[in-house]
Amino acid sequence: MVELEVGVFKWPWNERKEMPHRSCFTLLIDDYVPWRVLRPEIALPESLYADLNRVFEQTGHHCVKYSICPLAEGVNWVEDPAYSAYVEELLRAQTLGISLGLEGLTHYYVYDLERRALTNLPELDFFNTAGEEEIHRYMNAGVEILGRKGVGLSGFTSPFFCGDQPEAYKAFNRLGWTWSFNTHGLTQGNDPVVRHGAVSNLPSYENSSDLFGGGGAPPATEVRADQARACVDAASLNGEMCALYTHFQGIHFSGSLEAIEGLLAYVEAKEDIWMGSAEEIGNFWAAKEALRRRLSVTRDHEKDQLHIRGYYTPTKGKVAVWVVPPQGYGVAEAKLYHDAKEAPEPRLAEKPNYSVIVAETEKHRAFNMIAQLKRN
């Protein structure tokens, strides 16, 4: 048995181009909350949420996450009949494959679950000082509120959370979340980092703040569509993730629905950029990184086989493993086993100097593959 060269591509396999995607794109929209709860003097039409959903429905993309504040200003609007239209659109977003995440519980100040009132402790301090149990209980309160209406969450985001608090990530992992959008690229670069279990910290693209209207709107803010395209181009050139950032109210007051639609068309035309939701990106990155750290390949000379072994977290994502076969050989076929049980036959792609094996990772941990060799 001799160790051979093997690895995992950085981004998922691109079926259209028969090569890995060059980079990744997603859109982050914060403050999913009835705006009249936060600023009752300002009118923000309920139709905005339906219109946004329609954009992603018509384009066939769900490369976006909505961040929800379920107790805005301490008001439980999720279970208030007066705001039922907002919940209906959240449920519709969920059916479209859009990722939904918690944006703190109240977004600004910690909510005392016993007294049912806001405290004077900022969430910033809470996430930096609280332990795993406290954070889990606090976040789970939001999960339960939304869960009672049929809304499921897959991650977390907050402007008060820098992405470096291990106790919080332990709590997020217990909640079954797979992503967290909290750290800008300035200190981390634009590649996700797995923190705990299946939770990936996904950074938003630096210099992309509120490209489609300011978070504190009104007044209306300039829509910087050219800068958005420049961010996409830069990320693609460097093979990074481009996560552009904005707010629901900013989109409305800047009239940028059309600009968002144009940006989605711009990204899609590039063909080599993976347009993924936060959940898809988090799942893929966690699975890939776990597999990359444990991947090995050996050769059985008697049977002319390669035995490729690894491990990944039980999250859904299609990882593309590349392997350089012995000189003069190629891969004739491959069989994949998860925890000793044979899985659907993986796809093969032969390249001049290596072979690619594309495998589904959903709900499995052990990765065992037997690749039958053939002479070229």
What secondary structure letter does DSSP report for 132? Answer: H
Q: Which residues of the chain have pLDDT under 50?
A: 1-2, 184-186
Domains of the chain: 23-271 (3.20.20.370), 286-375 (2.60.40)
What secondary structure letter does DSSP report for 140? Answer: H
DSSP structure string for 40-91:
TTS---THHHHHHHHHHHHHT---EEEEE-TEETTEEGGG-GGGHHHHHHHH
Strand-pairing partners, residue 25, are 242, 275
pLDDT at 1: 42
Residue among 103, 147, 75 nearest 247 (CA): 103
pLDDT at 303: 94
- Euclidean distance between CA atoms 70 and 79, whole angstroms: 9
Token pair of 101 as six digits:
């995440």
Token pair of 30 as six digits:
């914060």
- Euclidean distance between CA atoms 92 and 322, whole angstroms: 38
- pTM score, two decimals? 0.91
Contact 70, 79 (CB under 8 A): no
φ/ψ of 26, rounded to 5, equals: -150, 160
Helices (H), the chain: 35-38, 47-59, 84-95, 123-129, 132-147, 166-174, 185-188, 225-238, 248-254, 257-270, 278-294
Q: How many CB atoms lie within 10 A of CB 147?
A: 13
First to last CA, the chain: 21
Side-chain-facing half-sphere of 236: CA atoms under 13 Å: 19
Question: What are 215-239's pLDDT values in tens digits?
Answer: 666 666 777 888 889 889 988 998 9
Contact 125, 135 (CB under 8 A): no
